[in-house]
């Protein structure tokens, strides 16, 4: 099929919400390492990795070999039959994860991982009220939709009660008009009056992303979780870290929450865990996991092929010391973005951790009015130059830059040069 035929069929046969990037969508054909090729053979430097999911590069040979071998041996049996890859990966997660002792439940997506975490917290505490964050993204199941803090993604009015939304740790747009550190981390201390006034005072959980991904790579201040989490625990809730975007060394530490010196009670994973193979995982303190005793099955959860892909991906991250690469190259990327912000007045904020960096675009640095049109133009301009980046944020004005952890210095420099040209073209 030609690109035009594929686009025509996409329009005719897929739900309209399956909405691709770009005025003329990019029909992806193949990928290798940091590069993606479209159907017309044009090569792109991929600095978004299928939404932070291609964590060790497209078609990494070790992941491909592991998936192919597993595909030839055993593809599916359901969780009714234990398999070696499933217990191997569960053991690995328990060994490398910060929660001890812990147990794992495998699913197929971040949505399911989060819904499993919420269900576990509710069953373990016998309570239903949950604190989530404004600007958060949780997935597209009913619970996840009602949990998240962004109207454009919720699609309809709330159907599930019990979620209360705390102020986001969004320093660039502080809801209280304060500045860190003089603010006393007000966004975190405000959780206590939120619990006292908006809930029964008996909460099941607090769910938060260590860096808010879809929200526009919002990085909470350093002591945010050290202040917020004890408040949650004081009221009997457990802390769920949604690590769907931030795990696997992405932020330059093993887990996103490691940047904050707090140990969660439950963690959720998906995206980059299996380099593109569908997967979700919920890691919970063993006593909490033991609350999920009743019948609950994920037909494809723990599937041998996804398990093999995850084991290989984690192996590559460890063997190739990619956490170190995320620190080094993340620093290089951030320095380059900061230099671009000195030249381009439309960049209001540069933020991020490791290889998860963002530019928030504004019409005016004083008023901070979001520049969504500028972000759209910039997205098109980067694509014209052969660079793929993402967009996000409640106002659609944040560029998300997150290459595979295998990226090298030359590729970071190339991306920065292309981004600089695109910023000039879009008059940012």
**CA-to-CA distance for 230 and 277, rounded, in angstroms?**
36
Options 55, 107, 111, 146; binder of ligand PLP; rule CB under 6 A = 111
Options 129, 242, 349, 360; binder of ligand PLP; rule CB under 6 A = 242
Q: Which is nearer to ligand PLP, 105 or 137 (CB)?
A: 137
Q: If we measure between CA atoms, which residue out of 114, 70, 52 comes closest to residue 389?
A: 52
Residue 79: burial class (beta carbons within 10 Å; 0-12, 13-18, 19+): middle
| Position 404 contacts ligand PLP (CB under 6 A) | no
CB-CB contact of 353 with 219 (8 Å)? yes
Name the one range near ligand PLP by CB under 6 A: 240-248, 253-261, 354-362, 369-377: 240-248
Q: Which is nearer to ligand PLP, 139 or 304 (CB)?
A: 139
Q: Which is nearer to ligand PLP, 165 or 186 (CB)?
A: 165
Q: What number of residues does the chain have?
A: 428
| Position 270 contacts ligand PLP (CB under 6 A) | yes
CB atoms inside a 10 Å sphere around CB 243: 30
Q: If we measure between CA atoms, which residue out of 302, 246, 308 comes closest to residue 272?
A: 246
Options 49, 57, 139, 352; binder of ligand PLP; rule CB under 6 A = 139
Q: Which residues contact 372 (CB under 8 A, 6 or more apart)?
A: 395, 396, 397
Q: Using CB positions, name the residue nearest to ligand PLP.
A: 110
Options 46, 115, 129, 209; binder of ligand PLP; rule CB under 6 A = 209
Q: Which is nearer to ligand PLP, 245 or 313 (CB)?
A: 245
> How many whole angstroms from its chain centre is CA 261?
19
> How many whole angstroms from its chain centre is CA 240?
14
Options 31, 210, 213, 390; binder of ligand PLP; rule CB under 6 A = 213
Q: If we measure between CA atoms, which residue out of 199, 194, 174, 172 comes closest to residue 184?
A: 174
Name the one range near ligand PLP by CB under 6 A: 12-20, 237-245, 291-299, 406-414: 237-245
| Position 50 contacts ligand PLP (CB under 6 A) | no
| Position 49 contacts ligand PLP (CB under 6 A) | no
CB-CB contact of 148 with 132 (8 Å)? yes
| Position 114 contacts ligand PLP (CB under 6 A) | yes
| Position 312 contacts ligand PLP (CB under 6 A) | no
**CA-to-CA distance for 146 and 156, rounded, in angstroms?**
9
| Position 371 contacts ligand PLP (CB under 6 A) | no
Q: What's the DSSP call for residue 308?
A: H
| Position 245 contacts ligand PLP (CB under 6 A) | yes
Kindly give the interhelix angle for 304-319 and 322-343, rounded to the nearest 10 degrees: 80
| Position 137 contacts ligand PLP (CB under 6 A) | yes
* # residues contacting ligand PLP (CB under 6 A): 15
Options 55, 107, 109, 377; binder of ligand PLP; rule CB under 6 A = 109
Q: Which is nearer to ligand PLP, 109 or 275 (CB)?
A: 109
Looking only at Cα atoms, what is the longest distance across the chain?
60
**CA-to-CA distance for 384 and 252, rounded, in angstroms?**
30
Q: If we measure between CA atoms, which residue out of 405, 392, 390, 299 comes closest to residue 355?
A: 405
Interface positions with ligand PLP (CB under 6 A): 51, 109-111, 114, 137-139, 209, 213-214, 242, 244-245, 270
């Amino acid at each position: 099929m030609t690109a035009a035929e594929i686009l025509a069929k996409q329009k005719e046969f897929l739900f309209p919400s399956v909405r691709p990037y770009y005025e003329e969508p990019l029909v992806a054909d193949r990928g290798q390492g940091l590069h993606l090729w479209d159907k017309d053979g044009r090569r792109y430097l991929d600095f978004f990795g299928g939404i932070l999911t291609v964590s060790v590069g497209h078609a990494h040979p070790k992941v491909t070999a592991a998936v192919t071998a597993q595909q030839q041996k055993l593809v599916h049996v359901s969780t009714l039959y234990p398999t070696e890859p499933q217990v191997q990966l569960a053991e690995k997660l328990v060994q490398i994860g910060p929660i001890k002792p812990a147990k794992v439940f495998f699913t197929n997506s971040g949505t399911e991982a989060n819904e499993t975490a919420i269900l576990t917290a509710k069953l373990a505490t016998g309570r239903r009220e949950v604190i989530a964050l404004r600007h958060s993204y949780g997935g597209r199941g009913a619970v996840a939709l009602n949990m998240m803090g962004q109207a454009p993604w919720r699609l309809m009015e709330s159907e599930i009660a019990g979620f209360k939304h705390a102020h986001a740790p969004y320093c660039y747009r502080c809801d209280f008009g304060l500045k860190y550190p003089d603010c006393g981390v007000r966004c975190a201390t405000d959780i206590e009056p939120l619990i006292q006034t908006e809930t029964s005072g008996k909460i099941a959980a607090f769910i938060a992303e260590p860096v808010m991904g879809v929200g526009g790579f919002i990085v909470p201040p350093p002591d945010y979780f050290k202040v917020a989490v004890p408040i949650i625990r004081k009221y009997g809730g457990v802390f769920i870290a949604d690590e769907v975007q931030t795990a696997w060394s992405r932020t330059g530490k093993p887990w996103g929450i490691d940047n904050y010196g707090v140990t969660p009670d439950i963690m959720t994973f998906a995206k980059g865990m299996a380099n593109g193979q569908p997967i979700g995982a919920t890691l919970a303190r063993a006593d909490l996991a033991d609350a999920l005793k009743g019948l609950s099955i994920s037909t494809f959860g723990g599937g041998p092929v996804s398990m093999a892909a995850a084991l290989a991906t984690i192996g590559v991250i460890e063997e190739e010391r990619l956490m170190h690469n995320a620190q080094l190259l993340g620093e290089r990327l951030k320095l380059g973005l900061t230099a671009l912000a000195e030249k381009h007045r439309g960049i209001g904020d540069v933020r991020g951790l490791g290889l998860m960096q963002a530019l928030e675009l504004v019409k005016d640095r004083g008023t901070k009015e979001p520049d969504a049109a500028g972000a759209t133009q910039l997205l098109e301009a980067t694509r014209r130059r052969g660079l793929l980046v993402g967009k996000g944020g409640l106002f659609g004005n944040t560029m998300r830059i997150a290459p595979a952890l295998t990226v090298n210095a030359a590729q970071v420099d190339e991306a920065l040069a292309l981004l600089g040209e695109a910023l000039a073209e879009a008059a940012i």
